[in-house]
Structure 1
Amino acid sequence: MKILQISPQVPVPTIDGGKLSVSGVTKSLHKLGHHIAFVCYRKEADYELSSYQLSKFCEPFILNVQTGNSIFGALINLFSPIPYNASKYKQRELKSFLIDDLAKNKMDIIQVEHLHMGWIAEVLKKVSDVPVVLRSQNLETSIMKRYTNAQKNIALKLFAWLQHKK
């Protein structure tokens, strides 16, 4: 199968659970003989090293997009119905890349990694009839609720509570 895998970050090196999970799936699909086109945001990763490591088991497309947290982004998000941890991943560079790529390349299935990237499914359905699968690793509302309850700073606690309610 030809699989388009979309991730919010470069999954190498495998230094945390999210990266380990994504790279494990990609490597397993490769071992089963599937062709994987892997699209992700670069964030802070070393482009050359990441491309080299990923190219061993997929065809990497690393978009030079930073999705780190920012105070400005968090403040703007107060007026959004979408949680900040999801909205910061909604980037036009990914949308444009996927529209162009799907016009040129036929895929059998599209796998979207992480709930944060779920927004792209709406775009994909408009430009392609390829099945889209969301593979979520965490129950994000539970994580946000625990963070809210543990937060001591009143301003951060209020922000976290608002994010949890979204």
Structure 2
Amino acid sequence: MKILYIAPKSPAPVIDGGCFAMMECLKGLSTIAEVDGIILETYKHPYTKESERILGQYLRKQTVVPMKTEVNPAGALVNFIRRRNYNLSRFKSDKLYHIIAEKLREKYDYIVCDSLFAAAQLSHFDMQELPPVIIRSHNVESEIWKLHASLESSVMKRFYLRQLEKTLRKEEIDILNKAAVLWAISEEDRSWMLQNTQQKNVLLLPVSVDLHPEIQVHYDRNSFFHLGSMDWKPNQEAVQFLVKKIWVNPEVSSFKLFIAGSKSEHFKFYNSDSIDVVGWVKDSNAFMAQSGTLVTPILSGSGIRIKLLEAMALGIPCITTALGAAGIDVEKSGIQLAESAEAFTETILKFHENAGLRQELGEKSRDYILKYHSFESCIAVIKETLEG
């Protein structure tokens, strides 16, 4: 079996949750079929020698296509006037069209597009003449922009964001309708696709997460931490919420809070006796295992939080919002939810005082990952799709 795999950015090296999810999908595909890849190179995710080395373990051939995805005000205005979605337009080009057309002269059994953006260019083809197209959806993209618009205080910006959401929703549904199969990353996204598109063949394909039984979690640590890339707005909001809404509370301010992740060093001004901005950590699993309880008050954004899943796989106790736990069965997972500063404070106090509770809920989270996010369970879904 031969598959043409299209990624909207280099999945390797893994520098964020999107890369992580793509790599896990690619690993699964490569266990079943020969896979050729078209990798779009962007300014945020350059294709390097390290990319080539890692991807070479899973791809038979690699075709790299540089794309100019930087935001351009003139391009945004033109697309706004034409009522086309600017987000998707940045992942289309004549060059990419011809490269895909050339690759399709080879006989492939399937085309797998890892995200809506990877599938954007295919809207310029006659989908009936292509091999069956599978779109692996990382989020319902238009829902993200709907939320952005609802949270925007500026009237003009809110108007523009609502137009982006409307055009994106129209094009998103059109692209999803043309696929042979959709792989949804969460049950919530799967339900949305079944309700809002004409698709009937929508399968749940969660992100697979490795367990690390060799790593010992220190449940005696009654500290707290936040880990995530700080060039992502929801993580910036989460850290600001922790620092300005919770760690100012005298009941909490004596507890240790570690802040780590890519670009977090830019927030060193938050350092204090109780707050330690660690910066980027080389071994995130080792860091999490010895840093206590994960606190991640996600207030915006969409999709599965990969760092949350990785923490759960280790057996780390976690406190987050309902939005942060999107795609996860809260009752089965052991995750604790809090929606306000008061609720976070109450839960933090409860965790700080009880090592037994930290261990009980952390182990429950690890069992959940083993059951619902193992590599084997995800491979089964891929095999079901490709082999019938």
Q: TM-score range by the shorter chain?
A: 0.7 to 0.9
Structure 2 equivalent of residue 152 of structure 1: 153
The C-alpha deviation readout for 1:88-117, integer Å capped at 9, x for no partner, is 1111121110111112x2111101121223
Q: By how many angstroms is 1:10 displaced?
A: 0.8
* Residue pairs, 1:1-166, within 5 angstroms: 1-30=1-30, 32-44=31-43, 45-58=46-59, 59-103=61-105, 105-125=106-126, 128-166=129-167
Q: By how many angstroms is 1:145 displaced?
A: 0.8
CA contact (8 A) 1:41 1:63 kept: yes
SS of 1:73's equivalent?
Answer: helix
Q: By how many angstroms is 1:127 displaced?
A: 8.9
Alpha-carbon separation, structure 1, partners of 2:116 and 2:161: 18
CA contact (8 A) 1:86 1:117 kept: no
**CA 1:149–1:111: 2 relative to 1, 3 Å:** same
CA contact (8 A) 1:110 1:130 kept: yes
User: What count of residue pairs does the alignment treat as equivalent?
Assistant: 164
AA aligned to 1:147 is H
SS of 2:10's equivalent?
Answer: coil
**CA 1:146–1:129: 2 relative to 1, 3 Å:** closer
Alpha-carbon separation, structure 1, partners of 2:130 and 2:147: 38
CA contact (8 A) 1:113 1:136 kept: yes
Q: Percent identity?
A: 24
Alpha-carbon separation, structure 2, partners of 1:136 and 1:79: 28
The C-alpha deviation readout for 1:19-43, integer Å capped at 9, x for no partner, is 111111001111x241111112111
The C-alpha deviation readout for 1:9-68, integer Å capped at 9, x for no partner, is 1111222222111111001111x2411111121112143332222111112211122212
SS of 2:81's equivalent?
Answer: coil
Alpha-carbon separation, structure 2, partners of 1:34 and 1:132: 15
Q: What TM-score does the superposition give when structure 1 sets the normalisation length?
A: 0.87
Alpha-carbon separation, structure 2, partners of 1:121 and 1:71: 25
Alpha-carbon separation, structure 2, partners of 1:135 and 1:33: 17
Alpha-carbon separation, structure 1, partners of 2:17 and 2:158: 25
**Greater relative CO (CA pairs within 8 A, separation 6+):** 1
AA aligned to 1:34 is A
Q: What TM-score does the superposition give when structure 2 sets the normalisation length?
A: 0.40
Alpha-carbon separation, structure 2, partners of 1:157 and 1:138: 21
Q: By how many angstroms is 1:122 displaced?
A: 3.7
CA contact (8 A) 2:110 2:131 kept: yes
Q: By how many angstroms is 1:156 displaced?
A: 2.4
Q: In structure 2, list runs of 5 or more residues that go unmatched.
A: 168-388
CA contact (8 A) 1:51 1:62 kept: no
Q: In structure 1, list runs of 5 or more residues that go unmatched.
A: none
